Every structure is written in structure tokens, then in C-alpha cells.
Amino acid sequence: MELSKMEPIVKRFYEGVAKGEYWGRKCPECGAIEFPPHLMCNSCGNRDTEWVRLTGHGKLLSLVLPGIQNNKPYLKDEGKYGYGAVQMDEGPIYTFVVYGLTKKNRPELNRRIKAGETIGVHPKNVQRDGWVELCFELDDDVKESLKK
């Protein structure tokens, strides 16, 4: 995948990610935000959405750890990771790679999620061949609290 060949919406998303800007599309009809952005609103079907900048901060709703067969080297090089459903502070939910998830802290994270605690995550960009992949990592206060 080359940035120059991406569709404009996808391109703007990845250009933003590389600069630390997180752009979604907001529906003026129902207020839903698509992130990562789509042209159409998936909530009401409206085709007339507009750009909205997100903070990039979110919370972890659930997690899955990769098995031996699907542990990707380019991701592993950046640290231990898993996959998580991330809800952005502005509302949209999507699955991302999340750094800091381990076999050791998984039970505690699951317990906290079940208890309704907020597990904050923020972007961690991973450089790929010609583009930047948006991943997330646990917030520092979460990491700190897991050490205890």
C-alpha cells in the first residue's frame, strides 16, 4: 500500500496519523463519528459527513492476545501487544493493536474492564513501509498501576 494510491479519505487519515492528528468523519444528521473515517455514516446511512478531529485518546473495552502463529514480527519488535476494542473519547469504537497487553496483566485488565474501570489508551504510531500504522498503548497511569 502506497500513500499516493490511497483514496482521499484514507489518505487524509494516514497523513494525519503520521502528524499526530486523528481525523474522523462526523455525521451532521445523527452526530455519529466514523473513525477510522468512511464517506458514509454507518449509523443512519447519510452520505454527507464532514471532517472532525479527535483527541486520539480512548479506552480499552476488551482485549485478545495474539497466538504464536499470528504474532507479527513488525509489531512484536515494538513491544508486547494485543488486539483491543478501543472506544475513542468521542464515541466511535474500533479494533486496534494495543501495546502493553501481556499474558501477565490480562486477568487484571479483564477484571478492571468488567468492574467498569476506565483503561486509558493513547496512540502509538508504528512505521511501516511508506506509511504509519495507528496502534495504541496503555496510558502511563494504567501501566504504573499494573506494576503494583
Residues that bind Zn ion (CB under 5 A): 27, 29-30, 32, 41, 43-44, 46
For the bound state, the minimum distance from the C-beta of residue 89 to Zn ion, rounded and expressed in Å, comes to: 19
Decide: 81 and 98 in contact? Cβ < 8 Å. Answer: yes
For the bound state, the minimum distance from the C-beta of residue 107 to Zn ion, rounded and expressed in Å, comes to: 38
Between residues 29 and 117, which has the closer beta carbon with respect to Zn ion? 29
Decide: 24 and 49 in contact? Cβ < 8 Å. Answer: no
For the bound state, the minimum distance from the C-beta of residue 94 to Zn ion, rounded and expressed in Å, comes to: 17
97 burial level (CB within 10 Å; 0-12, 13-18, 19+): buried
Between residues 52 and 65, which has the closer beta carbon with respect to Zn ion? 52
Between residues 51 and 74, which has the closer beta carbon with respect to Zn ion? 51
For the bound state, the minimum distance from the C-beta of residue 28 to Zn ion, rounded and expressed in Å, comes to: 8
Between residues 3 and 39, which has the closer beta carbon with respect to Zn ion? 39
